[in-house]
Structure 1
């Protein structure tokens, strides 16, 4: 009832502020790429004659703006496309669709805004967009274009390390990032144990990451939202493009089903590292399996001017096998059916039915000891979103319901196996939310984005549900039948972002955000693993909660060629999770008995300087931060460094257009080593050396730094066929960055302890041939 009153008051304020004696009309439409028919996300719509008149297209290319009757100069712009300038007389509701033609040459760097000073004028802060067309300019491991690795070059987004596609955002853990592919959550976004991400850049149209002040339509994670949208497919012409590299190849085909009405896109990728094993000098390596594949597919049908259907899917799999003795495979499957409907000139609707599945299987095939371990997390998701344009307000509201099913672990074995079958009980839950938000252009200088999200979670039977005390002892066990509510939670999540614009090139912004999370990652390692499992909030495990405040200064200079920003943030977190010493997650029927709950805090400053245009461009990003945790049962209740705490994080990116055909680029990254727990002593117990550990994460791993270089040679331009060669060197000066640390007695002097450092990569060259026709 309280939320209804708040929502009613919110709408009353909106309508009160919007009251006007003038006649108001709406201008709406869809903006697309003139060559492919793809909708353009974040295209700028600006009208002169009234300073605050402007908007951007939403995630479906649709825009709507309400204005007083009059004559305006309309400007439609989008990075890398020729602008459209048109004079319009607005004396009735008007629908205008626009097709933008790509510019002859793209000069913008990877991180780009939808207009030259959008970073200054946009009330949202802590948001970055990635121009997928230019990812090819960034040097990466094995020459494989990688969205996640490129994002980790931005301040506030820290990589989990070599051989890992996970990332940390403003002190949050890896599982506190919501990764969406066409609105479907992706639970493990890595291939080959983290060397590659699951996202094939050929199939991706738009990438947006929110690391603070996220809009109210997003929820379910504490730290960030990574919203990735796939290409719709070319509505005008059939095209094909791809690439052949040292260890993988890819191919994308797209084209119209019915010209200008419907289209399809199919993009596939596969590694062939296992093919080289057949020629390995070591015969024991022959017959092993090591590869991944993924497939992105999408189709859309424009039923009429007001209705469009979209169907998209992702299918990815990794397989690892050792001479028919051991097998390990894991993968993601997602599917999204979306219906976009225009109710009126001002009201836009999007209805989505979403399916997501992540599973893994581990198989031991040794005779007499064979077994198979499997785990699944599966979601069915319904979303209904509305967008309403009202004078200087852009109002969004909607509902979301997700049904989670988690199969934590099932062990099966043959009759002759020494391994006993076992199964951890499945868990089910329903996560629902209702939200309302408004982006209000209050004046020529002041913009406000505010909203409320009411989220709820219900843990459902059937099964036995236990309760534990603070020492992990069982105090109660109750059986609940199928569908019966075991435990429920309700949380109100306010969101607020504001910006004050001093002039066209300078502004200050502030934000406050509260987020809750009901899915919790269980992992014995410090980085993501395919065998990680999730648990749901329960009568023992409460929802994680994070509150974040941020303040930023944004400035452009030299005709918006250079962009500078400085953001400070403070985040405090409740119900954070750690493990008791000796916890084993695999097949653990009582994993919650081994969990500890405490608080967290993270704070820091992020500095970003970027040159956006010209033959030479790039950026410098620097983060100074602190991340800590506090648990009564750890470190005598004192605050200690979280594993992902890194004091300094620096990234430098340079891209140089040396000639019409040659583009050179380089990146340098440096960060303070992760916080680690190291032994402070040792003693003998039954003839075995036992190491003594005291404070949690009181020491540091060695600092990490690396220089990469790449060069791209464009083929001679042709009307129907294009090609390029990409050459790269990863880790140019062969830095042996630490992947793992272990401790053991020095065999030459048992009184001493030696540290064993393992490095994953040295210098790695790469070459890839890309083509398009």
Structure 2
């Protein structure tokens, strides 16, 4: 770190210590961990409050830990969590108390509806954070998606402000940002390419997932490195009470998972695996041009944890996934992610919680091409080693401080091109790029009055570009202030404001509209400055009919600096001077998001609508005038409905509509040496056709036995068979050379699927 960052670190840590030592000494604290009584899984976001003290509610953190303080006296501690029976405990707070809590799940889905209908202080209204969405595994399980595969990323695409890249694709854009401007975390490890099979499936096996939180507005100060959003995904810890096995068999893949105690009530493990088997069917073909092809992916989630006592717990988790696609000996691509996380939770005292993490992340791909005499191989990867410390100090029910620091060492291998002796290409080894990304942050959650809640903080981000041997080429230091507030208008509604500054030092080079495994990551350098985004938001939130419904409307404006676009005909792969293909400028994104959700009853679901605009102004493009970014869409609508007909049948449907993406089409053509060439004028001056689609699903719950339960899920993707445009290609009309044909290609029509799920 530079001297500047050291000074900032000293200042922020001194500030935090002053706050910590200034707390009142007449309060006592009750703390502990909240768990599922049946499985031992910690519960994230459970609400804990003292009924005798208004607005005393706090939420358990990402590891189930809670801490609440009050003056001496007798209190009733209420603990509640959606889908669980609330629990009350009478306590005498005459000293600090250690009180672990275990909650019992509702006996069945209908009982869960009754529990969630209870009147409570909804965190959606009181929390100052804006643009935050949480998804449960139930949401994911019931939403129909392509091929019947439950998919985290495709489900979040149904939320306001989040747009999917193309038909069936797991790539997504948030509030006008690019796909690379989303920080996707799996147990704190960065996942650089969250897709399988060229983007049609996400890397996240829903059987292994416990909690998903989406930040698209006022992200907390502990997150950084991306401009648009954070998708924070937590894996299951595993059942520490009993052994369980489960899985599913679908049309194209099979899933298996196992979990159980390492030591009962103290430690557990979970293993989840998934593999497609399209390649097995290809091998059955008598046609060698088909049987020699390969098309499959696999992934494996592993996690273990052990609790030494109520103050110390360790976690080890990992993800491994690969895709393999090949067409005989002509072409092949192999790519995938690997992550590993080691964490230590330590409770210093009843108010101070610590999480120390060591994290590894890697994404790599290999390409093989064999055409005529050209035998070419291309490899590339990005690798991170991350060390960070996060602390939370619970002053009282109205004050909590989060602070911490971390460092990431990035290694980017842009590419190694190897060619056979008979090839017309030469071997090429692009120089590796090394860098350090350091950060220090502090934030304060504060409720100075009954209706007023603040969350404000500062993140200091430093990026060091390293040269051989570990010399410093250049350094960028940025201050990232974050602030948000919630003003409660009455018991059922609130108004929120937020401002965020974010910076991004890693950039993805891609000129395609969907996820591409060969997209190239590059770090900031002397020529490529860190991207900067300043976002302001305002919103109104309301609960209706005793929290049976919720409604929100948010407006945002985001100003972006150092945005990247490409020269016409840019060559991005295996280019030693790839920075010469880039152009830089500024961007802006603004919009309005509406969200309505029905949370209880037999019929649940939500409706989301986004009205937005995203534009760039890049020197050297479109005569330096503003033009639409490729992910610019005017309208985006999603409707999700889930109907529990009875204890056996659950029916669900989704309908989506959006304005076609901005795209560059040819404005004319000319002939050179008898060959037709198209010429282009305005960048992104045209639109793809509007997109809409309906998906439906029905789940039949089998008869539950003592140790075994099962279900069947039947689904149809694109129910009414609309041929949505995936791409449009222009060519000369073979019957009239003076005319040009526009050929529209669609991917999916009427895709039925059936999946059998089981657990024992």
Report the TM-score range of the alignment, normalised by the length of the smaller protein.
over 0.9
1:204 matched to which residue of 2?
209
SS in 1 for 2:449: coil
SS in 2 for 1:761: coil
2:388 matched to which residue of 1?
383
1:131 aligns with 2:118: no
1:438 matched to which residue of 2?
444
SS in 2 for 1:695: coil
Select 2:540's aligned residue among 553, 566, 570.
553
Which segment drifts farther, 298-307 or 98-107?
98-107
**How far does residue 86 in structure 1 lie from its aligned partner after superposition?**
1.8
- State the TM-score, normalized to the length of structure 1: 0.95
2:102 matched to which residue of 1?
99
1:240 matched to which residue of 2?
245
1:79 matched to which residue of 2?
82
Alignment of 1:140-151 (within 5 A): 140-151=145-156
C-alpha contact 1:487 1:539 (8 A) present in aligned 2: yes
- CA change 1:418–1:697 in 2 (3 A) is closer
Which segment drifts farther, 743-752 or 619-628?
743-752
C-alpha separation between the residues in 2 aligned to 1:249 and 1:116?
41
Query: Per-residue displacement from partner, 1:125-172 (whole Å, max 9, x unpaired)?
Result: 100011013422110100000000000000001001124211100010
Query: Per-residue displacement from partner, 1:705-756 (whole Å, max 9, x unpaired)?
Result: 0000000000012111000000000000111111111111222222222211
1:174 aligns with 2:179: yes
**How far does residue 416 in structure 1 lie from its aligned partner after superposition?**
4.5
- CA change 1:450–1:526 in 2 (3 A) is same
C-alpha contact 1:139 1:708 (8 A) present in aligned 2: yes
SS in 2 for 1:370: strand
**How far does residue 561 in structure 1 lie from its aligned partner after superposition?**
0.2
C-alpha contact 1:116 1:560 (8 A) present in aligned 2: no
C-alpha separation between the residues in 2 aligned to 1:643 and 1:30?
46
Unaligned ranges ≥5, structure 1: 463-481
C-alpha separation between the residues in 1 aligned to 2:339 and 2:374?
34
**How far does residue 13 in structure 1 lie from its aligned partner after superposition?**
8.6
Alignment of 1:556-595 (within 5 A): 556-595=543-582
C-alpha separation between the residues in 1 aligned to 2:747 and 2:599?
34
- CA change 1:365–1:751 in 2 (3 A) is closer
C-alpha separation between the residues in 2 aligned to 1:378 and 1:386?
26
Query: Per-residue displacement from partner, 1:560-598 (whole Å, max 9, x unpaired)?
Result: 001000000000000000111111111100001111010
1:450 matched to which residue of 2?
456
C-alpha separation between the residues in 1 aligned to 2:734 and 2:423?
39
Query: Per-residue displacement from partner, 1:594-636 (whole Å, max 9, x unpaired)?
Result: 1101000000000001100000111110000000000121111
1:771 matched to which residue of 2?
758
1:711 matched to which residue of 2?
698
1:602 aligns with 2:580: no
2:731 matched to which residue of 1?
744
Query: Per-residue displacement from partner, 1:214-250 (whole Å, max 9, x unpaired)?
Result: 0000000000000001011110000001000011000
**How far does residue 326 in structure 1 lie from its aligned partner after superposition?**
2.3
C-alpha contact 2:255 2:275 (8 A) present in aligned 1: yes
Which segment drifts farther, 127-136 or 646-655?
127-136
- State the TM-score, normalized to the length of structure 2: 0.96
Alignment of 1:6-45 (within 5 A): 7=12, 11=16, 14=19, 23-45=26-48
Which segment drifts farther, 736-745 or 345-354?
736-745
Query: Per-residue displacement from partner, 1:273-323 (whole Å, max 9, x unpaired)?
Result: 111112347542112110000000000111222111100000000001112
Select 1:459's aligned residue among 454, 465, 468.
465
Query: Per-residue displacement from partner, 1:91-135 (whole Å, max 9, x unpaired)?
Result: 1111100011110123679xx999662211111110001101342
SS in 2 for 1:627: strand
**How far does residue 8 in structure 1 lie from its aligned partner after superposition?**
7.0
2:720 matched to which residue of 1?
733
Query: Per-residue displacement from partner, 1:26-50 (whole Å, max 9, x unpaired)?
Result: 1110000111101111111111122
Cα-Cα RMSD: 1.8
Select 2:54's aligned residue among 39, 51, 56.
51
**How far does residue 371 in structure 1 lie from its aligned partner after superposition?**
2.0
1:512 aligns with 2:518: no
C-alpha separation between the residues in 2 aligned to 1:277 and 1:399?
50
Unaligned ranges ≥5, structure 2: none
- How many residue pairs match? The answer is 750
Query: Per-residue displacement from partner, 1:484-543 (whole Å, max 9, x unpaired)?
Result: 001110000000010011222110111000000000001121222000111000000000
C-alpha contact 1:113 1:119 (8 A) present in aligned 2: no
1:539 matched to which residue of 2?
526
**How far does residue 657 in structure 1 lie from its aligned partner after superposition?**
0.6
SS in 2 for 1:592: helix
1:638 aligns with 2:625: yes
C-alpha separation between the residues in 1 aligned to 2:543 and 2:214?
21
Select 2:317's aligned residue among 306, 312, 324.
312
**How far does residue 418 in structure 1 lie from its aligned partner after superposition?**
4.0
C-alpha separation between the residues in 1 aligned to 2:266 and 2:158?
39
C-alpha separation between the residues in 2 aligned to 1:52 and 1:5?
34
C-alpha separation between the residues in 2 aligned to 1:39 and 1:363?
45
1:397 matched to which residue of 2?
403
**How far does residue 691 in structure 1 lie from its aligned partner after superposition?**
1.6
1:613 aligns with 2:600: yes
